[in-house]
């Protein structure tokens, strides 16, 4: 019998990243990792086949660590998935909302659920991650403590849901990318595709402006452009970009050809199907 393939994620069982793995890779064995660095190492070293990584959140913006690891990792983006972030308030069995005095969660989750915290006069306590908060509350077995965690965590740690969908904003959505050691490109002409790449601009006046001109003149929609400091220099020389389209599409092929004139390096990180959420 072959062992199931493994998909690594950052966080404890029950985290949002675990939720996305369970949703899109139900037959794979999820591998929880303590840090993003550990997730990348697990795939690079062959301990896992894929990694599920959050890259942007509609409220908190970009996930900074990922943008630090991605360019030099040698891993490739093979898919993207969007998850509508849902948070429940959960406590030990038998606890009631009136009994709760303190609420544990990741700092971002506490910031995204301010209304219920304020409404019930709860004292927020920061945990390493949202699922870890549920585990801490289960271990404490104290009815005055609650956790703000994803729905999956309640089942995993045996907690009771005291209030559902408590996030302040309904549009709270995280975009995840799936990373692989192998570059597997989506075929051209088979539905919407996203191409992610990094490039270094030459140190010339208006180099970035000229580099991007080809995308405008060839009608290519750029959905992301972010700058990096490289080697500790405060001049932004490296950029991460994402565009709609396949490198084999005539317009994008011409735009990338023009980009090469004004850059010292272009590296394709992934060519993958656009998630239906985008439309």
One of 176, 199, 239, 262 is an active-site residue; which one? 176
- Please, what's the b/e burial string for 201-239 (b: 16 or more CB within 10 A of its CB; e: otherwise)? beeeeebbebbbebbeebebeeeeeeeeeeeeeeeebbb
* Residue 76: closest CA among 225, 181, 224, 6: 181
| Paired tokens of 66 | 């990922």
Beta carbons of 78 and 98 less than 8 angstroms apart: no
| Paired tokens of 30 | 């999820």
Which residues lie below 8 Å from residue 3, measured CB to CB, with a gap of 6+? Answer: 29
Residues paired with 161 in a beta bridge: 90
Task: Annotate 137-198 with DSSP letters as a single string.
Answer: HHHHT-TTEEEEE-HHHHHHHTPEEEES---S-TT-EEEEEEEESS--PPPTTSS-EEEEEE
Active site residue 261: no
| Residue 10, number of CB atoms within 10 A of its CB | 24
Residues paired with 267 in a beta bridge: 198
| Paired tokens of 264 | 């010292």
Q: What whole-number distance in Å separates Cα of residue 61 and Cα of residue 40?
A: 21
Active site residue 262: no
One of 40, 87, 174, 239 is an active-site residue; which one? 174
Residues paired with 30 in a beta bridge: 7
Catalytic residues: 174, 176
């Amino acid at each position: 019998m072959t062992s199931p393939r493994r998909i690594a994620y950052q966080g404890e069982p029950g985290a949002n990243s675990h939720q996305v793995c369970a949703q899109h890779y139900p037959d794979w064995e999820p591998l929880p990792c303590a840090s993003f660095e550990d997730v990348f190492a697990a795939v690079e070293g062959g301990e896992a086949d894929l990694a599920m990584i959050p890259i942007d959140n509609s409220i908190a913006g970009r996930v900074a660590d990922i943008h630090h690891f991605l360019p030099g990792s040698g891993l490739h983006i093979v898919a993207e998935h969007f998850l509508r972030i849902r948070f429940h308030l959960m406590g030990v069995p038998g606890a009631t909302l009136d009994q709760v005095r303190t609420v544990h969660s990741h700092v971002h989750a506490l910031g995204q659920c301010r209304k219920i915290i304020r409404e019930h006069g709860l004292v927020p306590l920061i945990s390493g991650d949202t699922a870890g908060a549920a585990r801490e509350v289960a271990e404490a077995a104290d009815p005055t403590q609650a956790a703000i965690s994803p729905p999956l965590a309640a089942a995993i740690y045996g907690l009771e849901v005291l209030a559902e969908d408590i996030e302040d904003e309904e549009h709270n959505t995280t975009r995840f990318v799936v990373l692989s050691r192998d570059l597997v490109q989506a075929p051209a002409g088979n539905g919407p595709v996203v191409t992610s790449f990094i490039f270094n601009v030459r140190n010339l006046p208006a180099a970035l402006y000229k580099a991007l001109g080809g995308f405008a003149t060839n009608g290519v929609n750029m959905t992301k452009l972010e700058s990096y400091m490289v080697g500790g220099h405060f001049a932004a020389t490296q950029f991460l970009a994402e565009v709609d389209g396949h490198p084999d599409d005539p317009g994008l092929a011409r735009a990338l050809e023009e980009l090469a004139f004004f850059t010292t390096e272009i590296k394709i990180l992934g060519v993958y199907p656009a998630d239906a959420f985008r439309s």
